[in-house]
């Protein structure tokens, strides 16, 4: 029994069609059949019921499909971890981040990494409503920048800085002439914000702000992408609430008004990871974070 045979079995169990599976695996149908037959003979278990038209898993096949899938996932995870350890400083690293840091903090960090580790390949991903904890533990990403601290024994989290949250309005909006903002006075305004039903930390932050001021926004447009929100606000289509980091986008015709609320940025990584690059990136991020808000505007 080989790993390849198990992978062939799992693909066939998913497709339940020899021709489709052989096309997907880029092998001949006869080769696929021989591998499955050889696997069944070696383990002494009938995995599939076959006739000219249909392929179906036996009860034993269903059991093995469930458990072998977990083993293969674990094997792939371990292989990815070993590959990252072997690659070292000339290898690759995957970073997940919120869109708000894409205008200043993240570009500055990437510049620092490029200067110190010029041969390092970096993969950037911007999950909008995915669990960073699971992405880290499954080795799909190596470092996560997030607005909340990940509470898991296997993950280290470090707060990099705290920044204010702003009301964002067009330059000619009446709020730009007010010394303080009363949320009740915004009752008739059109809000362009993240979906409040989402599970992201920023969506939760918005819900808490609105609950604090006993305010229900008139949400006319929904987006998780701050760059799009800024464009829509600049065109007078509504107002929004965004972190200070978006000021670095230098969008025209928008004004940021402080509402005395704050949000944090954390860096998260796997504890005891043998990839030395991760520690270096954490160090660069920490030094940059210490001076981030000091270098505002």
What integer pLDDT is reported at residue 102 of this predicted model?
A: 93
* Domain boundary pick from 84, 102, 120: 84
Domain with 7, as residue range(s), is 3-84
The answer to whether residues 196 and 252 belong to one domain is yes
What integer pLDDT is reported at residue 130 of this predicted model?
A: 64
Total number of domains in the chain: 3
CATH code for the domain in which residue 276 is found? 3.40.190.10
The answer to whether residues 231 and 186 belong to one domain is yes
The answer to whether residues 240 and 121 belong to one domain is no
The answer to whether residues 269 and 149 belong to one domain is yes
Contacts of 13 (CB under 8 A, 6+ apart): 47, 57, 61, 65
What integer pLDDT is reported at residue 118 of this predicted model?
A: 85
**CA separation for the pair 50, 38 (Å, rounded):** 15
What integer pLDDT is reported at residue 18 of this predicted model?
A: 85
The answer to whether residues 246 and 278 belong to one domain is no
CATH code for the domain in which residue 50 is found? 1.10.10.10
- For 88-124, what is each residue's pLDDT tens digit? 555 788 999 999 999 999 999 999 999 988 878 899 9
The answer to whether residues 80 and 152 belong to one domain is no
The answer to whether residues 146 and 218 belong to one domain is no
The answer to whether 227 and 221 are in contact (CB under 8 A) is no
The answer to whether residues 172 and 256 belong to one domain is yes
- For 142-194, what is each residue's pLDDT tens digit? 999 999 999 999 999 999 999 999 999 999 999 998 777 889 899 999 999 98
The answer to whether residues 151 and 280 belong to one domain is yes
* Domain boundary pick from 52, 84, 116: 84
* Domain boundary pick from 28, 63, 84: 84
The answer to whether 262 and 162 are in contact (CB under 8 A) is yes
The answer to whether residues 126 and 249 belong to one domain is no
The answer to whether residues 146 and 273 belong to one domain is yes
Sign of the alpha-carbon torsion through 213, 219, 221, 223: positive
The answer to whether residues 116 and 174 belong to one domain is no
Q: Which two tokens stand for residue 95?
A: 């970073």
């Amino acid at each position: 029994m080989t790993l390849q045979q198990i992978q062939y079995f799992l693909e066939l169990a998913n497709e339940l069609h020899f021709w489709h599976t052989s096309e997907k695996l880029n092998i001949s149908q006869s080769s696929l059949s021989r591998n499955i037959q050889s696997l069944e003979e070696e383990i002494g278990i009938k995995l599939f019921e076959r006739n000219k038209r249909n392929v179906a898993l036996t009860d034993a096949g269903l059991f093995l499909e469930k458990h072998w899938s977990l083993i293969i996932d674990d094997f792939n995870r371990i292989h990815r971890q070993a590959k990252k350890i072997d690659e070292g400083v000339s290898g690759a690293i995957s970073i997940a981040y919120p869109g708000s840091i894409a205008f200043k903090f993240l570009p500055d960090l990437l510049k620092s990494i490029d200067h110190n580790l010029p041969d390092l390949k970096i993969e950037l991903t911007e999950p909008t409503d995915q669990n960073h904890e699971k992405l880290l533990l499954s080795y799909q990403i190596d470092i996560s920048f997030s607005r909340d601290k990940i509470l898991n024994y296997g993950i280290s989290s470090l707060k990099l800085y705290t920044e204010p949250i702003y009301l964002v309005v067009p330059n000619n909006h009446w709020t730009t002439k007010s010394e303080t903002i009363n949320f009740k006075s915004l009752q008739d305004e059109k809000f362009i914000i993240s979906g409040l039903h989402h599970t992201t930390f920023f969506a939760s932050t918005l819900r808490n702000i609105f609950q604090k001021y006993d305010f229900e926004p008139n949400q006319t447009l929904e987006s998780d992408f701050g760059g799009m929100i800024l464009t829509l606000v600049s065109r007078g289509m509504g107002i929004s609430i965004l972190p200070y980091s978006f000021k670095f986008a230098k969008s025209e015709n928008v004004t940021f008004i402080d509402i005395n609320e704050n949000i944090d940025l954390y860096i998260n990584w796997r504890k005891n990871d043998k990839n030395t690059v991760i520690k270096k990136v954490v160090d660069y991020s920490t030094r940059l974070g210490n001076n981030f808000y000091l270098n505002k505007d």
